Homo-oligomer: A and B are copies of this chain.
Amino acid sequence: MSGRIGVGMIGYKFMGKAHSNAWRQVGPFFDAPLKPDLKVVCGRDGEKTARMAERWGWERAVTDWRKVIEAPDVTIVDICSPNDTHREIAVAALEAGKIVACEKPLARDGREAEAMAAAARKSGRLNTVWFNYRRVPAVAFARQLIAEGRIGKVFHFRALYLQDWTLDASVPLLWRMDRETAGSGVTGDLLSHIVDLSNFLMDQDMASVSAASRIFINERERPEGGRAKVEIEDACVFLCRYSGGALGHFEATRFANGRKNGNTFEINGELGSLYFNLEDMTRLWYFDSREAKHVQGWREIPVWEECHPYMKNWWVPGCAIGYEHTFTNQAADLLAAIDGDTAMRPDFDDGLRCQRVLDAVLESAGTGKWVDVNLNTGEREA
């Protein structure tokens, strides 16, 4: 299959901008024969959505998401509306035979994610979750180095996701801080990313977790006025025992003053180690203990050579890409998978696996007990 493919997007704010850019950029930058057409964007506010459509090149704007799903010229349904809308839209889209790309976290909890993963499996259509950090070239490259056997048996995985934007008590209770809409706080928003990176990078499963969480500011203004109790966690930390014996620890917070997008991970293995920091996303740090002792050291690898993942599509060595390109890379991979009829990851089963870990984390934070993680998805049970 090649030629053009129609995309319909539901949601039009920050993530709508990131996704629109991806659909616009993937054509010229990637060689894939399949090119997307930006057919329709959907948002609840008709006027704003229409302006967004004009600005970003969507052919038309609608306010009812069902119109997107019913549109015969739409093959890919891209969901970037708030978490509480994911399940209903995704299931309907899959049932309508659409290919679905859903923002992370897949859902508000494992129960919702289960329904979505089941619908995906039943539909037989390609589906993906926008865990875009898998497509940071340095992260994809980390996986490549692991696959090359450069790290060996892993002893430790530690990952942080540190932000500070809700430190200020005057920040209102946006939807990301609303339990009904978001499902959880930093757990769904930030831990989801680093749990997915563990699932992506580690060849050991997360087996059990012990967690603690905190709400540091108990009450905030609602954007629409009035004060409300904050019910979602500002910070969440957990320990993890892996199936192969490794020890992990994870932390996400919006109260780490001075850290803006401090998504870092370090993997320590018997042959080497890797370190990544999203705030310096061009680099991967690599330590190789097989080298001659006197020249051993952490190597700062700028991941911008043609031989690095995705980079031959962009510029030349020395020219960094940034945040937005991770979405474009994922869009390119999805189009290539559609074109080549191959698998696409992360899929809804990956989203479900992540959600199972998050559910265990939240349960542990509530009960104070270690909680086993059930990573079996329907697919595996079958």
Which residues on A are within 8 Å of B, measured CB to CB? Answer: 14, 17-18, 20-21, 24, 27-28, 55-57, 141, 144-145, 155-156, 158, 160, 162-165, 167, 210-212, 214, 216, 235, 237-239, 241, 245, 247, 249, 251, 253, 255-262, 266, 268-273, 278-283, 286-289, 293-302, 304-305, 307-308, 314-325, 368-370
Contact among B272, B322, B368 for A258, CB-based, below 8 A: B272
A158 to B14, CA, bound (A): 31
Q: Are B237 and A212 in contact (CB under 8 A)?
A: no
Report copies per complex: 4
Q: Are B304 and A260 in contact (CB under 8 A)?
A: yes
A322 to B273, CA, bound (A): 26
A211 to B141, CA, bound (A): 32
Q: Are A249 and B237 in contact (CB under 8 A)?
A: yes
Nearest 3 A/B pairs, CB to CB: A261-B318, A258-B287, A260-B318
Smallest Cβ distance from A300 to chain B, in angstroms?
5
A55 nearest in chain B by CB position:
B28
A316 nearest in chain B by CB position:
B14
Binding site secondary structure of chain A: mixed
Q: Are B210 and A289 in contact (CB under 8 A)?
A: no
Max chain B Cβ within 10 angstroms of own Cβ: one of A210, A211, A245, A299: A299
Smallest Cβ distance from A214 to chain B, in angstroms?
5
Smallest Cβ distance from A38 to chain B, in angstroms?
11
Find chain B residues with CB under 8 A from A241 CB. 212
Q: Are A247 and B214 in contact (CB under 8 A)?
A: yes
A298 nearest in chain B by CB position:
B300
A30 to B159, CA, bound (A): 35
Max chain B Cβ within 10 angstroms of own Cβ: one of A245, A249, A272: A249
A245 to B235, CA, bound (A): 11
If A28-B20, A319-B322, A323-B315 touch, does A156 touch B249 (CB 8 Å cutoff)? Answer: no
